[in-house]
């Protein structure tokens, strides 16, 4: 069975500093990996995904993620954090279940960017 782990419940970073939100996964077969963001009182929004190819994936709002097959990780990164980046971030993996692909989400990491 596939699974996703987000080892940090909360990440604190100062505005202007780089940020990393960690995600590790476990799947049999090829991993299809996603990051979503949830702002307060909103639904989840898609940020970026890894399907195949370049290990560095660029997404919305200046975010990027690095796929590392040997470490089974897909960490979310941003070179310079903004206060407006403060939100809940979810990593997800889409893996085969019978003839379909059902997404599995991590528990989420709360990112707090301090002014």
Which positions touch another protein (CB under 8 A)? 9, 30, 32, 34, 36, 41-46, 49, 51, 90, 92, 94-96, 99-103, 105-108
Question: Residue 45 Cβ, how far from another protein at the closest point, in Å?
Answer: 7
Least gap, CB of 110 to another protein (angstroms): 10
Which CB atom, from 45 or from 80, has the smaller least distance to another protein?
45
Contact 109, 9 (CB under 8 A): yes
Cβ-based nearer residue to another protein, 10 or 17: 10
Beta-carbon-side half-sphere exposure of residue 42 (alpha carbons within 13 Å): 11
CB 46 within 8 A of CB 76: no
Least separation in angstroms between residue 54's CB and another protein is: 15
Residue number, 14 or 58, with CB nearest to another protein: 58
Rounded CA-CA distance 82/107 in Å is 23
Using alpha carbons only, give the angle 77, 8, 40 rounded to the nearest 5 degrees. Answer: 75
């Amino acid at each position: 069975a596939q699974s996703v782990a987000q080892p940090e419940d909360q990440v604190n970073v100062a505005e202007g500093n780089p940020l990393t939100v960690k995600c590790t996964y476990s799947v049999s077969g090829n991993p299809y990996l996603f990051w979503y963001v949830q702002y307060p009182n909103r639904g989840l929004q898609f940020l970026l995904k890894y399907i195949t190819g370049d290990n560095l994936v660029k997404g919305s709002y200046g975010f990027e993620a690095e796929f590392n097959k040997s470490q089974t990780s897909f960490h979310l990164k941003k070179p310079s954090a903004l206060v407006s980046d403060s939100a809940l971030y979810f990593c997800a993996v889409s893996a085969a279940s019978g003839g379909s692909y059902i997404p599995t989400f991590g528990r989420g990491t709360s990112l707090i960017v301090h002014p």
